[in-house]
Amino acid sequence: MPQLFEHFIKDKIFYLVQEYINGKTIHEKIKSEETFTEKEVRKILEDILQILEFIHRRNVIHRDIKPANLIERESDNKICLIDFGAGKTISNWIATRATIIGTNNYMPWEQVRGYPQPCSDIY
């Protein structure tokens, strides 16, 4: 995950200043017809699951996990999850309906209905 350097509100708009991750997204790799070995797929999945464990333990749901939001960092080949603009704190997530945020074809049914859960990130 990119390091968060700063956050602030200006003219009623919320801004996050994060570390720039140099690398290629999984989406870019797929579009360039790059293939992945089974070992590479396992590494990608392990990296993603470690990130999800980290954010879910902090009561955050990403809500927009897709190949375009996964970057393989050039410096160490670790997968980084980016674009937390759709992220949601999960305190009271059961009781309240959330704004529907995400990308079609990557959202589970409960998220489409406005009730995202931690398992929504694994869909």
- Which domains can be identified in the chain, with CATH numbers? 25-121 (1.10.510.10)
Identity of residue 104: N
Kindly name the residue from 47, 64, 76, 83 that is annotated as catalytic. Answer: 64
Active-site residue flag, 76: no
The owner of tokens 């080949």 is 77
- C-alpha dihedral sign at 26, 121, 123, 111: negative
Beta bridge partners of 104: none
pLDDT band at 9 (very low <50, low <70, confident <90, very high): confident
- Residue-wise pLDDT for 27-63, tens only, equals 999 999 888 999 999 999 999 999 988 888 888 888 7
Distance, in Å, from the CA atom of 40 to the CA atom of 43, rounded to the nearest integer, reads 5
For the ranges 38-47, 55-64, 78-87, 93-102, the maximum mean pLDDT occurs at: 38-47
